[in-house]
Structure 1
């Protein structure tokens, strides 16, 4: 029989005394400040003494606390259950849906990724609409196939492969957390998604470049001046698409002809100082007028919460539209970067300088010891490229 009584408990609470009052067999009435009383069970687990909170006195009577304490003692004695550990486990975020699983995966992996927005964008755009609300244990290989088929139907094979790879990582994470028994994406290969990817090697020769920019100029209604200047800059500077489209004016010193590209926005481990040929400076000055005070060189076209600058899909969509209309032959934005590399070779640029013009990492011992940035040499090389490209891209040609 316990030592406490209902009458005694009310007296203790009324007195305002704080402390722990024993009822027997490890059950205690604990009084906090302001007269808040709760029940707790003292027990031993794995050789350690622990205190487990059962509940507040206002919700659980003395008889109810004794019953609950008896059940807990029986479980501890029977299978070694640790009530405190069990409660901590229950407090962990429940992973019920694919959205929950992605949130957990992303919270752990985003900080390790150099470009954490890339998997987030892939999930939100292509995986979440199909799988986001499904319970993780209910996702089947057919659901995975539905995701990749939807992407391949939109003629984005590389994205389909990327989405499949992300789903494999995601569901492996689910297995690690015991949220699911198997990976529904495990049996799929790139052959089931976008196919085996071949290295892209297309380079636009000078006649093709002339025809391309002439065709783009002929359709200002479908291909805006901002899009046109973006293509011209990509050809002359050889930078990656989003390095340019997400650029802010604070990165540029047009008087000195320099662009300071931060390490966070490149695939390099350090910031890059890019020399700007006179033609590129002239195009940027025009873009600054067109930006109408925006912080970005290429401001967003429509109200969007995703990007404050031109969307990654804008140029591709505009070019694909012209290709479908037969105005231009199909090519990718990245072909302009390869074409810049070809023009650098055409003007006699040494390979190690040409690679630095494209912000490529130099591999091997040379990359470790050669820290000189070749700024003057790169300025000479890119200016020579611009001297060839500017007559092709200027409107009056």
Structure 2
């Protein structure tokens, strides 16, 4: 990214407004020193170019760090660099938690994680505001404990677990870089901080499935594609992201298969290297549902309804379920009077339903594209496509039975056309 202008004073930098994209601005009288201006912050950096590790050296964020201080740190770092030493080891580089956070994100997270924005959000929202100005050598275990407890106290005990995990990873990274001798976060135990593990066990009963289908038909403001997607999640056991990003080119109606590319699967970077596209066999009910969407968009199976330029966003299904649970009829009664559930609970319901039907565990797990364990992944390369097809068809037929108890007989076999 080429610099667009030169910054000489703190006042100039203070007045610089962020645009939609990050901008690098050269700092006057400091060759190699830039300030990256984003919506989040303004960070002093040195891009050493290819061949150096790390390539990016960060000095700190404005206004905590002035241009004068950034020049001084940059000059000392360059001097150490010329002497063949690590430019981060002295001169204030990565002295504060905010500076460490930037170095950690650039070197260890970005480019290594499939969804680095999750860590970025935690750093910007929870860690840097609380500890950003603290020097690394002065950060104590009680301070980190207080930071995590504050997240718990604001009503986010599950998210607090992420905050602690990312904090531990960041300080261990600092140890590996030689910036601190030991991590002040390592002694902390999640159980002692009030952290809750987001381990859900909600599954819908047969009666609740019938009520769900009935409620979907009574939700006039819910779009056709979202109603259909909720049913498809239950019938196929797909992850919401896998279905949300599905394209018509991946749909084979003749063979009743929807192929999920590796890029859309929930995999780590390491798993992606050996992963294969996942062929999800579709029961006839699912094929009929998808055919009902064919005319909505040329590319996306579940298109967004705002501009037609892409699929629905990743929050649509969850928001739709919450609205459905809160929907009331003319008499003020809930249209769907069942306990709360999430779109992912439909996937769990499918898996539990397969077990209830006597489907062997390894087939049921493969229906959901779950790993069968390291040894099985290495030696058992069979995809069990036909076994999975039979299992999911049995499950879809069972869902039809649940729905039939709550729908008029004339509607049970015409759900797809009614959509």
- Measured against the shorter chain, the TM-score band is 0.5 to 0.7
Mapping of residues 187-202 of structure 1, within 5 Å: 188-191=188-191, 195-197=195-197, 199-202=199-202
Per-residue CA deviations over 1:128-177 (Å, capped at 9, x if unaligned) read 13444633527776577456644774x55433312321122123323444
Gaps of 5+ in 1: 1-80
Per-residue CA deviations over 1:282-337 (Å, capped at 9, x if unaligned) read 222333433x33x333344568xxx9543333322333344466644212222211
Secondary structure of residue in 1 paired with 2:163: helix
Asked whether the equivalents of residues 164 and 193 of structure 1 are also in contact (C-alpha less than 8 Å), the reply is: no
Distance 1:243 1:289 in 2: 20
Shift of 1:259: 1.7
Change (3 A) 1:336 1:156: farther
For these two proteins, the number of residue pairs brought into alignment is 308
Question: Which residue of structure 1 lines up, in the alignment, with residue 361 of structure 2?
Answer: 351
Question: Which residue of structure 1 lines up, in the alignment, with residue 204 of structure 2?
Answer: 204
TM-score by length of 1: 0.63
Question: Which residue of structure 1 lines up, in the alignment, with residue 322 of structure 2?
Answer: 320
Question: Which residue of structure 2 lines up, in the alignment, with residue 137 of structure 1?
Answer: 135
Asked whether the equivalents of residues 262 and 277 of structure 2 are also in contact (C-alpha less than 8 Å), the reply is: yes
Mapping of residues 250-289 of structure 1, within 5 Å: 250-266=249-265, 267=267, 269-289=275-295
Distance 1:131 1:245 in 2: 32
Shift of 1:367: 4.4
Secondary structure of residue in 1 paired with 2:228: helix
Q: Given the alignment, which residue of 119, 131, 148 partners 1:123?
A: 119
Question: Which residue of structure 1 lines up, in the alignment, with residue 233 of structure 2?
Answer: 234
Per-residue CA deviations over 1:249-303 (Å, capped at 9, x if unaligned) read 332223332222223332463322111222212222333433x33x333344568
Asked whether the equivalents of residues 127 and 147 of structure 1 are also in contact (C-alpha less than 8 Å), the reply is: no
Question: Which residue of structure 2 lines up, in the alignment, with residue 40 of structure 1?
Answer: none
Question: Which residue of structure 2 lines up, in the alignment, with residue 311 of structure 1?
Answer: 313
Change (3 A) 1:301 1:365: same
Asked whether the equivalents of residues 262 and 272 of structure 1 are also in contact (C-alpha less than 8 Å), the reply is: yes
Change (3 A) 1:277 1:128: same
Question: Which residue of structure 1 lines up, in the alignment, with residue 409 of structure 2?
Answer: none
Greater CA deviation, 191-200 or 308-317? 191-200
Secondary structure of residue in 1 paired with 2:295: helix
Distance 1:257 1:329 in 2: 33
Change (3 A) 1:109 1:253: farther
Distance 1:339 1:125 in 2: 31
Asked whether the equivalents of residues 305 and 312 of structure 2 are also in contact (C-alpha less than 8 Å), the reply is: yes
Per-residue CA deviations over 1:183-204 (Å, capped at 9, x if unaligned) read 5644543336663427433322
Question: Which residue of structure 1 lines up, in the alignment, with residue 393 of structure 2?
Answer: 383
Say yes or no: does 1:296 pair with 2:296: no
Distance 2:114 2:153 in 1: 22
Greater CA deviation, 87-96 or 158-167? 87-96
Asked whether the equivalents of residues 256 and 282 of structure 2 are also in contact (C-alpha less than 8 Å), the reply is: yes
Shift of 1:247: 2.4
Per-residue CA deviations over 1:26-84 (Å, capped at 9, x if unaligned) read xxxxxxxxxxxxxxxxxxxxxxxxxxxxxxxxxxxxxxxxxxxxxxxxxxxxxxx9883
Higher helix share: 1
Secondary structure of residue in 2 paired with 1:289: coil
Greater CA deviation, 330-339 or 90-99? 90-99
Change (3 A) 1:172 1:205: same
Secondary structure of residue in 2 paired with 1:255: coil
Distance 1:249 1:334 in 2: 23
Asked whether the equivalents of residues 344 and 354 of structure 1 are also in contact (C-alpha less than 8 Å), the reply is: yes
Shift of 1:206: 0.8
Per-residue CA deviations over 1:65-105 (Å, capped at 9, x if unaligned) read xxxxxxxxxxxxxxxx9883267626999436656434432
**Larger Rg computed on CA atoms:** 1
Change (3 A) 1:213 1:121: farther
Gaps of 5+ in 2: 1-78, 328-333, 404-411
Distance 1:96 1:289 in 2: 58
Question: Which residue of structure 2 lines up, in the alignment, with residue 45 of structure 1?
Answer: none
Question: Which residue of structure 2 lines up, in the alignment, with residue 106 of structure 1?
Answer: 105
Distance 1:300 1:283 in 2: 17
Asked whether the equivalents of residues 148 and 164 of structure 1 are also in contact (C-alpha less than 8 Å), the reply is: no
Asked whether the equivalents of residues 137 and 179 of structure 1 are also in contact (C-alpha less than 8 Å), the reply is: no
